[in-house]
Amino acid sequence: MTPIITAFERSPDGGKGLARDTRVRWAFEEVGQPYEVRPVSFQAMKEPAHLALHPFGQIPTFEEGDLVLFETGSIVLHIAQRHEGLLPDNGNARARAITWIFAAINTVEPPILELANAILLEGDKPWSKERLPLVKQRVRDRLGPLSDRLGDAEWLDDAFSAGDLMMVSVLLRLKRSGIVDEYPNLSAYVARGEARPAYQRAYAAQAAPFR
Ligand code: GTB
């Protein structure tokens, strides 16, 4: 049974890969699992049929038979657990890879989202300019230790895993800000992720409707 995911019918980023279906597509591509995409409009996302799949009326969702999932952390972990290629076989290494998924979405992504909101949603507020350095510092407070931990390793814990997939996906949100470039090893890490053929295929697939 081919899994189906939902994605923006018209992504506000015009196909730059920033919407979160990209990380799910990337996971499918890494494990070689074909998938289908059901595009949804902003209006349809808030209607009962979609709310039955996603209580918060967002994308992406995942459907396979009678299983319905939302939350990219859960979806990527599910794909990684069901297929070879994104989690190590060794139990401890597997637990560490899963820890990096959580670290990406729970510890590193929140200040990055805060920065995106500060720029996109609050940029016109009178206090915005004063607050921005503080918000950027909170991002650096996460990137500094992440950079220290990565050091000159290729991936966060030996071989590429779903933890790296999620961390690179999260860091990609910072591309336009230039903050990742302050940490050359993180910048190279993100570039390694983007260079993976599976990421390239996922990126091309999400961009296709906008070309
Ligand atoms: N925690 C959830 C998850 O990880 O799955 C968050 C899901 C989420 O934020 N979905 C967003 C959404 O559906 C799309 S990805 N938003 C519509 C809504 O809430 O009504 C976030 C996103 C949106 C747009 C851009 N962009 O254009 O640059 C980037 C990222």
pLDDT in tens, 50-102: 999 999 999 999 999 999 999 999 999 999 999 999 999 999 999 999 999 99
Q: Are residues 74 and 100 in the same domain?
A: no
Per the structure, the complete domain to which residue 13 belongs is given by 4-85+198-210
Q: What is the pLDDT of residue 13?
A: 92
59 lines ligand 1 (CB under 6 A): yes
Residues 30, 112 within the same domain: no
One domain, residues 57 and 124: no
| CB of 18 closer than 6 angstroms to any ligand 1 atom | yes
77 Cβ closer than 6 Å to some ligand 1 atom: no
pLDDT at position 123 over 90: no
| 41 in contact with ligand 1, CB cutoff 6 A | no
Nearest CA to ligand 1 atom 12: 58
Residues 109 and 54 in one domain: no
Distance 58 CA to ligand 1 centre (A): 6
Q: Would you say 189 and 168 are in contact if contact means Cβ atoms under 8 Å apart?
A: yes
Mean pLDDT within 186-202: 98
pLDDT reading at 210 higher than 90: no
Rounded mean pLDDT of 110-138?
A: 93
pLDDT of residue 156: 98
Indicate whether 60 and 151 sit together in one domain: no
The CA 26 to ligand 1 mean position distance, Å, reads 16
Q: How far is the CA of 90 from the centre of ligand 1 (A)?
A: 33
Does any ligand 1 atom lie closer than 6 A to the CB of residue 72?
A: yes
* 180/169 Cα distance (integer angstroms): 13
- pTM as predicted: 0.97
Question: CA-CA distance, 179 to 154, in Å (whole number)?
Answer: 20
Which residue's CA lies nearest to atom 20 of ligand 1?
58
- Split into its structural domains, the chain has a count of 2
Tell how far the Cα of 20 is from the centroid of ligand 1, in angstroms: 6
What's the pLDDT at 158?
Answer: 94
- Asked whether residue 111 falls in the same domain as residue 121, the answer is yes
pLDDT number for residue 11: 92
Give the pLDDT confidence score for residue 114 in this predicted structure.
96
Q: Is the pLDDT of residue 151 over 90?
A: yes
3-state secondary structure the chain: CCCEEEEECCCCCCCCCCCCHHHHHHHHHHHCCCCEEEEECHHHHCCHHHHCCCCCCCCCEEEECCEEEECHHHHHHHHHHHCCCCCCCCHHHHHHHHHHHHHHHHHHHHHHHHHHHHHHCCCCCCCHHHHHHHHHHHHHHHHHHHHHHHCCCCCCCCCCCHHHHHHHHHHHCCHHHCCHHHCHHHHHHHHHHHHCHHHHHHHHHHHHHHC
Same domain, 202 and 187: no
Does 204 sit in the ligand 1 pocket, CB within 6 Å?
A: no
Residues 124 and 154 in one domain: yes
Rounded to whole angstroms, how far apart are CA atoms 3 and 179? 36
Give me the CATH number covering residue 57.
Answer: 3.40.30.10
